[in-house]
Structure 1
Amino acid sequence: MDPRNIEDIYPLSPMQQGMLFHSLYAPETGVYFEQSSWTLRGPLDVPAFERAWQQVMDRHPVLRTAFLWEGLEEPLQVVYRRVDLPLEKLDWRGLPEAEQAERLAAFLQADRERGFNLAEPPLIRLTLIRTAEEAYQFVWSHHHSLMDGWSQPILVREVFTLYEALRRGQIISLPPARPYRDYIAWLQAQDRAKAEAFWREMLAGFTAPTPLTVDVPPARSRPAEGQDDYAMQRILLPAETRAALDALARKHQLTLNTLVQGAWALLLSRYSGEDDVVFGATVSGR
């Protein structure tokens, strides 16, 4: 590490600390390794595309961040002044479509297995695979500690805004981006003791989430210890039902997510017989 290339050092957010812990504890699982694969069709100015990604990395300190933990009481994130974001380029134009599909599947698997060294930036990888004269497969991999789901479309929008300008030979100035350090500073300024006291009072009497007691499987059919005990089910609602839910949410100035969580809370209350219920939900944020 060259000290002259260090721009900033500051603590991790609680969410980042958890992600770092799980990534180091079980690196073989690939937990928090994010990978997207897109098909790009049409003429592509590859140098402009590469420069656009580099400019976005130069613009956002969190994208130039790595993590240090060895020999430290608490882990730290280190922002580097300059980090080159290489774009690996592959050319598969001469391969049959079926072989391209097989190679892509193998590439994506190898990329996931490769993972990231969290102490070395960048924690982002880009690969551009040319599959036809005007067709590319673009693979974007990154560690989830750098950004949440809400951040990704903002980042992509900036990339393509800069790409269009570069392709036309124009110079544009994007609005200033607030650095991630500001959020860390805000977190550190919070009264943690007051927040802990609030939640201890709010959750007094609870030792576990409220179970959904309907259709509980018998002991002999439950997963063994250490095995996953969950499942996923997707249900498509009719368009008219969705419209009615949207209207109800707007009427009461709620988000659709809040409405659904309220319905889940009522369901838990009904089947558990409890007036107060507790359940978890995944949220975006770093």
Structure 2
Amino acid sequence: MGKANVEDFYPLSPMQQGMLFHTLYSPNSGVYFEQLTCTLRKLANAQAFKQAWQQVADRHPILRTSFVWEGLKEPVQVVYRQVQLPWEECDWQGIAPAAQQQQLETFLKSDRERGFDLRQPPLMRMTLIELAKDTYYFIWSHHHLLLDGWSNPAILTEVFDFYQAELNGEQLSLPRPRPYRDYIVWIQQQNLSEAESFWRQRLQGFTAPTPLPIERDFGGAAGEESDREQQILLSVATTAALRSLARQQQLTLNTLVQGAWGLLLSHYSGEEDVIFGTVVSGRPPDLAGVESMVGMFVNTQPARVKIRPKDSLLSWLKQLQDRQIEARQYEYSPLVEVQRWSEVPRGLPLFDTLVVFENYPLESSLQKRVQNLEIESVLSFEKTNYALTLTVVPGEELALKIGYNSNRFEDSAIARMLGHLQTLLEGMTANP
């Protein structure tokens, strides 16, 4: 990529800085590698689908971005005028379904192991595998440095709109998107001293990360298949009861889950004052058009939960939600600074567990965008740098997923933990 092809360059957001650090610190770990997969039935024109992806990349600077850090005081992201999206097509027709599945698992694993050279744009690639006539398995791989979960539906919506237009022989004209650079400019205008006084007060008296006694005593080197995920689905009835409780009490489902996670950590650690990380949207309401922007906006914040046995559950949950709302105006705070402002000694993390509430409409952005096209089995893979990550996916049945490293945690311990979390959430609906 020559200098003449450089369109722009600017600093990283706080979350991007953290992700870059962890990616460079553990280059072969697959941390922050994102893989979205689905089955496409009745895909009438693979070439038009490929062209649609290129058109979307041409529209959004963040999709033409790489990262430079060597020899610089601070890393920068570099936007290129033109990039050609890597696109691979495979023909697996005639291979038995069981063999296709086995081949697919091998492919996905090797794709993750390949990772990305962060210095070479684009940090995304696509693979289209033909399983049978007009039936394909699609893999969209990208680095989390580029996009957050809210951006994925926006990207996919545009892709399918461009694809439909191509099928119809039409030219799709979309308004020019607001570039990610505008968000970086906004961040640099924020007052960190206000954030510092808020977080110093919020974290006062908390001096050590919340222990997780279920962690193995020995430290094993990361081995084969060390990264795992377990999932449970709450019943339709329990999920509906939780929604009803939240609605009646003017609470969010996220607050109920965070409350349950706080209680669980307290139970496991034996401490009544616990901290875990939460992922916040990071999209500032005062930045016009921010809802439709694509890029890495989310941030990670500490959630401090003090267990008050004398308080009723509902009043305690309302206090928890009020504290979340107070912290919203400081969503831009760099976690590395928040950690420094805390009383936890240097070298120790502020927290080891992360809660991610996926309330972005990925499924709905994929459905009914294109005439006759059927999209099935939408799955996503991602890996954070935390010991345990609880991901909550709303739906008719609330999904609770824990991602963990099996060298650090027994599979059976994680299964029990999910069971305890389920019991706590069911208990909230039975005895609020």
Structure 2: segments with no counterpart, 5+ residues: 282-297, 300-432
Hey, what does 1:253 align to over in structure 2? 250
Structure-2 separation of matches of 1:231 and 1:130: 28
Q: CA-to-partner distance for each residue in 1:208-243, whole Å, 9 max, x for gaps?
A: 34457xxx56xxx84214679x99764433323222
Q: Secondary structure at the match of 2:275?
A: coil
Matched positions, count: 278
Report the more deviating stretch, 62-71 or 130-139: 130-139
Structure 2 vs 1, CA of residues 234 and 38 (structure 1 numbering), >3 Å: closer, same or farther? closer
Structure-2 separation of matches of 1:176 and 1:100: 41
Superposition RMSD on alpha carbons, in Å? Answer: 2.5
The structure with the largest strand share of the pair is 2
**Which letter maps to 1:248?**
L
Structure 2 vs 1, CA of residues 273 and 74 (structure 1 numbering), >3 Å: closer, same or farther? closer
Structure 2 vs 1, CA of residues 242 and 10 (structure 1 numbering), >3 Å: closer, same or farther? same
Is residue 32–residue 145 contact of structure 1 (8 Å, CA) maintained in 2? yes
Q: Secondary structure at the match of 1:36?
A: strand
Structure-1 separation of matches of 2:49 and 2:154: 16
Structure 2 vs 1, CA of residues 263 and 104 (structure 1 numbering), >3 Å: closer, same or farther? closer
| 2:234 corresponds to which of 237, 242, 261 | 237
Q: CA-to-partner distance for each residue in 1:123-145, whole Å, 9 max, x for gaps?
A: 00111111211211111111111
1:222-233 equivalent positions in 2, closer than 5 A:
222-225=216-219
Report the more deviating stretch, 138-147 or 43-52: 43-52
Structure-2 separation of matches of 1:27 and 1:85: 23
1:189-208 equivalent positions in 2, closer than 5 A:
189-208=189-208
Structure 2 vs 1, CA of residues 22 and 88 (structure 1 numbering), >3 Å: closer, same or farther? same
Structure 2 vs 1, CA of residues 238 and 37 (structure 1 numbering), >3 Å: closer, same or farther? closer
Is residue 43–residue 136 contact of structure 2 (8 Å, CA) maintained in 1? no
Q: CA-to-partner distance for each residue in 1:84-108, whole Å, 9 max, x for gaps?
A: 1132112122333333233222222
Structure 2 vs 1, CA of residues 231 and 98 (structure 1 numbering), >3 Å: closer, same or farther? closer
Is residue 67–residue 77 contact of structure 2 (8 Å, CA) maintained in 1? yes
Structure 2 vs 1, CA of residues 277 and 22 (structure 1 numbering), >3 Å: closer, same or farther? closer
Hey, what does 1:262 align to over in structure 2? 259
- Percent identical residues: 59
Structure-2 separation of matches of 1:231 and 1:57: 32
Hey, what does 1:56 align to over in structure 2? 56
The structure with the largest helix share of the pair is 1
Is residue 209–residue 280 contact of structure 1 (8 Å, CA) maintained in 2? no
Q: Which structure would you say has the larger Rg?
A: 1
**TM-score of the aligned structures, taking structure 1 as reference length:** 0.87
Is residue 6–residue 80 contact of structure 2 (8 Å, CA) maintained in 1? yes
1:26-45 equivalent positions in 2, closer than 5 A:
26-45=26-45
Is residue 57–residue 64 contact of structure 1 (8 Å, CA) maintained in 2? yes
Structure-1 separation of matches of 2:10 and 2:256: 37
Q: Secondary structure at the match of 2:90?
A: strand
What is the CA distance between 1:31 and its match in structure 2? Answer: 1.0
Structure 2 vs 1, CA of residues 98 and 211 (structure 1 numbering), >3 Å: closer, same or farther? closer
Structure-2 separation of matches of 1:283 and 1:232: 22
**TM-score of the aligned structures, taking structure 2 as reference length:** 0.59
Counterpart check, 1:136 vs 2:133:
no
What is the CA distance between 1:48 and its match in structure 2? Answer: 1.1
Counterpart check, 1:102 vs 2:102:
yes
